[in-house]
Amino acid sequence: MLAFVISRILQAIPVMLAVALISFAMFAYVGDPVSIMLGQDFTEAQRQALIRDLGLDQPFFVQFATFIGNAVQGEFGLSYRLSRPVAELIAERAPATLELAFCAAAVALLVGVPMGVYTGLYRNSWLSRAFLTFSLVGVSLPTFLIGILLILIFSVWLGWLPSFGRGDTVQLGWWSTGFLTVSGLKALILPSVTLGLFQLTLIMRLVRAEMLEVLRTDYIKFARARGLANRAVHFGHALKNTLVPVITIAGLQLGGIIAFAIVTETVFQWPGMGLLFIQSVGAADIPVMAAYLLLIALVFVVINLVVDLLYYFVDPRLRAGFGAARGGH
Amino acid sequence: MAAILEVRDLRVEFPTRRGTLTALDGVSFDIAPGEVLGVVGESGAGKSMTGAAIIGLLEPPGRIAGGEILLNGKRIDRLPYEQMRRIRGKEIGAIFQDPLTTLNPLYTVGRQLVETMQTHLPLSDRDARQRAIGWLEMVGIPAAAQRVDSYPHEFSGGMRQRVVIALALCAEPALIVADEPTTALDVSIQAQIIALLKRLAREKGTAMMLVTHDMGVIAETADRVAVMYAGRIAEIGPVRSVVKSPKHPYSVGLMSSIPPLDRRVAQLSGIEGAMPRLSAIPQGCAFNPRCPHVFARCRQDRPELIETGTTRAACWLYDPASEKRAPEAVQHG
Ligand SMILES: Nc1ncnc2c1ncn2[C@@H]1O[C@H](COP(=O)(O)OP(=O)(O)O)[C@@H](O)[C@H]1O
Ligand code: SF4
Ligand SMILES: [Mg+2]
């Protein structure tokens, strides 16, 4: 078990290094940090001093190694745009994005899984048909359009929910949370639905397809032949057997939710990392972009690890040959 | 003694886009308490369909379109799902063909036993677990007290079928429907599994409908045999009579096609042709295109089961009203 976790972490290192290289390449070759930081008036001596301070006169590998060393310590230098440490900016923005992603994932799972089970069990009911039609909308409409439509209906026409921002937040240490105020919670609703809708429909369709598959299996027929109650057959035997693929997809989707919060955060002016990233792109604020990129890569790596560990708990067959390969069935 | 199971004139239909298929037609038989009825016939004859109809698990759109099924004298073919569910497992146990796919891979065998018993019997968790271990011992799983917490994939095919048998019997049903319980197993294990099934059925006084391809198993295990052909019963009677001196021309072909070493029937070597598809069952006797004794009446009227002296066969040769033809004309294999 521990060996498995360690081997997984070792496997993730090349991935992280590759992403770090891309981030670093942005640093080194995109834009000219020196002239950006110096502004309009500077002397040649000032320029040389800054190049030395930034270590830009060092060979490539030394610079890359320094970059990694700093990154591991969460040290990404100063934002060109805001002249504040990047780590501080990200730490400030992370709670907003994580709370939003959490709510979106909760919406996607808590609504998507039951809808998938229902449409799998009652294939031909009108409600199933309605769900499936609705899911087509969720898959095909672009996120920004859904966001704008929701704003139009619930903010502009009905005036029930705010159209932008996080509402009032409460500071818990360095973490600012919107969960503890009414306006914070209300502000979460529209962005969470917007961000989670695509994943919701995806999970619903996945659970439905898996349920249909599992319900045809011999062990489900045998469970019925043993006289087990429908509830036990459907939610114990059938649903549990759909979980391995659902966990895989749901895990990857959670990574997607965090990474693609950018669009939703832009539509709702949500003060999270995605919005920070977009603003940084606009200003060619390379350190922030590089740090964001690395952070998202890290999120994906961690989620993958968690997904693998969940397999371990769900499927006893994978426990035997664990660490060797996953999904070998 | 009154029959535990009575199947009367059972008819199962599958509505399809190209018309309704009749998968079972006029199937009737009884099983007495503690009796083993062997059911044989080529693949597609309707053996599994009969079992599925009895346990109330026909796959939609298949449905019982006529006849009745009685368990201990009470009709069970029209019961609401929930009532029939309480009968499944409790009064009728089922054993499926492939033990590799019959057990839920994500639950331990103990848990599957416990949930089955607790569904039907008022047992505490601890009692149910004790009984689960007892059942595993009874079906011959070594070190049952440890193995109760193992997952299905940790057992061999033969061991898994033993677990399936324990699951089918654990609520002590009076009737077992076993659909080719050894077909998917290694030849070397088949005899053990059949012996186990036979022993347990005898000990518990359980009646059994045993579907199998294996005439050897039938000869050793069954009290009576039903031969099925194209969704109908061709012949039914005591095992000795049907195996040793079959009367229906199809049974004759079936018995003579038993290869002496490997006794399984894949194809009927003695009889030309193949069983008709459901959409093309001929008028009159379903067997008439392949029958060596066919005569005019066979192509017009459908024969009911007729008393032959030792068995009952659906064949006009045995109808006194038929233009006289000697039953001796049928060659025994
Ligand atoms: N879902 C279905 N729709 C239509 N016909 C079916 C279906 N399932 C089985 N059948 C037909 O019913 C007949 C009986 O099948 P089955 O009882 O499985 O045969 P056996 O168990 O004797 O080999 C076969 O001809 C088969 O093709
Ligand atoms: S009824 Fe006629 S066709 Fe059918 S088995 Fe008897 S002799 Fe053959
Ligand atoms: Mg079959």
pLDDT attached to residue A230: 92
Q: Helix A2-29 crosses helix A60-72 at what angle (to 10 degrees)?
A: 130
Pair A92, A66 in one domain: no
Interface of B with A (CB under 8 A): 55, 57, 81, 85-90, 93-94, 96, 98, 101-108, 115-116, 119-120, 151, 153, 164, 167-168, 171
Q: How far, in Å, CA of A79 to CA of A52, rounded?
A: 18
Residue A220 tokens read as 């489900």
Residue B127 tokens read as 């009692």
Pair A193, A61 in one domain: no
Residues 6+ apart with CB under 8 A from A63: A24, A28, A55, A56
Last residue of a domain, one of A27, A42, A72: A72
Q: Helix A86-121 crosses helix A126-140 at what angle (to 10 degrees)?
A: 150
* Strand boundaries in chain B, DSSP class E: 5-16, 19-31, 36-40, 63-71, 74-75, 92-95, 175-179, 207-211, 224-229, 232-238, 306-307, 312-313
Give the Å distance between the CA of B282 and the centre of ligand 1. Answer: 17
B181 C-beta closer than 6 A to ligand 2 = no
> How many other CB atoms sit within 10 Å of the CB of residue A89?
23
Pair A154, A194 in one domain: yes
Give the CB-side neighbour count of residue A233, counting CA atoms within 13 A.
Answer: 20
Residues 6+ apart with CB under 8 A from A52: none
Sheet holding B306-307, edge to edge: B92-95, B175-179, B207-211, B36-40, B224-229, B232-238, B312-313, B306-307
**Hunting for tokens 């103990």 — which residue is that?**
B110
Q: Is A217 on the interface with B (CB under 8 A)?
A: yes
Residue A223 tokens read as 């469970």
Q: How far, in Å, CA of B44 to CA of B62, rounded?
A: 15
Last residue of a domain, one of A49, A72, A95: A72
Q: What is the distance between the terminal CA atoms of chain B, rounded to a whole angstrom?
A: 34
Taking residues B139-159, report their average pLDDT. Answer: 93
Residue A184 tokens read as 């914070």
Our measurement of the distance from residue A274's CA atom to the centroid of its chain's CA atoms, rounded to an integer in Å, reads: 11
Q: What are the tens digits of pLDDT across the range B21-70? A: 999 999 999 999 999 999 999 889 999 999 999 999 999 889 999 999 99
DSSP A295-316: HHHHHHHHHHHHHHHHHHHH-H
Q: What is the CATH number of the domain that holds A197?
A: 1.10.3720.10
Please, are residues A226 and B167 in contact by the beta-carbon 8 Å criterion? Answer: yes
Q: How far is B142 from chain A (nearest CA, A)?
A: 21
Q: How far, in Å, CA of A310 to CA of A315, rounded?
A: 9
Q: Is A315 on the interface with B (CB under 8 A)?
A: yes
CA atoms A279, A285, A287, A293: torsion sign: positive
Residues 6+ apart with CB under 8 A from A1: A312, A322
Q: How far is B210 from chain A (nearest CA, A)?
A: 16
On whether residue A328 sits in a domain, the answer given is: no
Partner-chain contact A227 B88, CB within 8 Å: yes
Q: Which of A124, A109, A300, A122 has its CA nearest to residue A206?
A: A109
Set of chain A residues whose Cβ sits within 8 Å of the Cβ of B167: 222, 226
| CB-closest option in B55, B101, B107 to A225 | B55
Pair A19, A117 in one domain: no
All residues with CB under 5 Å from ion ligand 3: B 48
Set of chain B residues whose Cβ sits within 8 Å of the Cβ of A230: 81, 85
Taking residues B181-205, report their average pLDDT. Answer: 89
pLDDT attached to residue B18: 86
Residues 6+ apart with CB under 8 A from A319: A312
Using CA coordinates, name the residue in chain B closest to A237: B104
Element (H, E) at B136: helix B125-138
Q: Is the peptide bond before B292 cis (omega within 30 degrees of 0)?
A: no
Q: What are the tens digits of pLDDT across the range A159-180? A: 888 888 887 878 888 788 888 8
Torsion of CA B14, B15, B18, B22, to 10 degrees: 40
Q: How far is A81 from chain B (nearest CA, A)?
A: 54
Q: What are the backbone angles phi and psi of residue B176, rounded to the nearest 5°?
A: -120, 135
pLDDT attached to residue B246: 93
| Cα separation values, B117 from B89, B207, B291, Å | 9, 20, 49
Higher-confidence residue: B78 or B1? B78
Set of chain B residues whose Cβ sits within 8 Å of the Cβ of A236: 115
Residue with the smallest CA separation from ligand 1 atom 21 is B48
Pair A228, A101 in one domain: yes
Give the Å distance between the CA of B30 and the centre of ligand 2. Answer: 24
On whether residue A80 sits in a domain, the answer given is: no
Pair A261, A189 in one domain: yes
On whether residue A68 sits in a domain, the answer given is: yes
Q: What are the tens digits of pLDDT across the range B203-254? A: 888 999 999 988 888 988 999 999 999 999 999 999 999 999 999 999 998 8
On whether residue A81 sits in a domain, the answer given is: no
Partner-chain contact B106 A226, CB within 8 Å: no
Q: B interface mutation test: which of A219, A233, A246, A329 has the most B CBs within 10 A?
A: A219
Pair A19, A156 in one domain: no
Please, are residues B180 and B212 in contact by the beta-carbon 8 Å criterion? Answer: yes
Element (H, E) at A172: strand A170-172
Taking residues B78-100, report their average pLDDT. Answer: 93
Set of chain B residues whose Cβ sits within 8 Å of the Cβ of A224: 57, 85, 88
Pair A270, A316 in one domain: yes
Pair A172, A225 in one domain: yes
Element (H, E) at B218: helix B215-221
Give the Å distance between the CA of B306 and the centre of ligand 2. Answer: 12
Q: How far, in Å, CA of A44 to CA of A321, rounded?
A: 63
Question: Band of the pLDDT at B1, cuts 50, 70, 90?
Answer: low
Partner-chain contact A315 B96, CB within 8 Å: no
Q: What are the tens digits of pLDDT across the range B103-145? A: 999 999 999 999 999 999 999 999 999 999 999 999 999 999 9
On whether residue A78 sits in a domain, the answer given is: no
Domain range enclosing A261: 87-322
Pair A222, A160 in one domain: yes
DSSP A220-281: HHHHHHTT--HHIIIIIIIHHHHHHHHHHHHHHHHHHHHHTHHHHHHHTT--SHHHHHHHHH
Strands B175-179 and B207-211: parallel
On whether residue A77 sits in a domain, the answer given is: no
Residue with the smallest CA separation from ligand 2 atom 1 is B315
- Name residue A164's amino acid: F
What is the DSSP code (8-state) at residue B303? Answer: P
Set of chain B residues whose Cβ sits within 8 Å of the Cβ of A225: 55, 57, 88-89, 93-94, 96
pLDDT attached to residue B325: 55
**The total number of structural domains that make up chain A:** 2
On whether residue A274 sits in a domain, the answer given is: yes
Strands A170-172 and B92-95: unpaired
Pair A23, A164 in one domain: no
pLDDT attached to residue A247: 83
Point out the residues of chain A with pLDDT beneath 70. Answer: 30-31, 33, 36, 320-329
Pair A29, A123 in one domain: no
Taking residues B177-183, report their average pLDDT. Answer: 92
Please, are residues A71 and A294 in contact by the beta-carbon 8 Å criterion? Answer: yes
Domains of chain B in sequence order: 5-222 (3.40.50.300), 228-259+277-329 (no CATH)
Q: Is 60 exceeded by the pLDDT of residue B324?
A: no
Q: Is A320 on the interface with B (CB under 8 A)?
A: yes
Using CA coordinates, name the residue in chain A closest to B56: A225
Residue with the smallest CA separation from ligand 1 atom 24 is B44
On whether residue A63 sits in a domain, the answer given is: yes
Last residue of a domain, one of A42, A72, A102: A72
Burial class (CB in 10 A: 0-12, 13-18, 19+), B118: middle
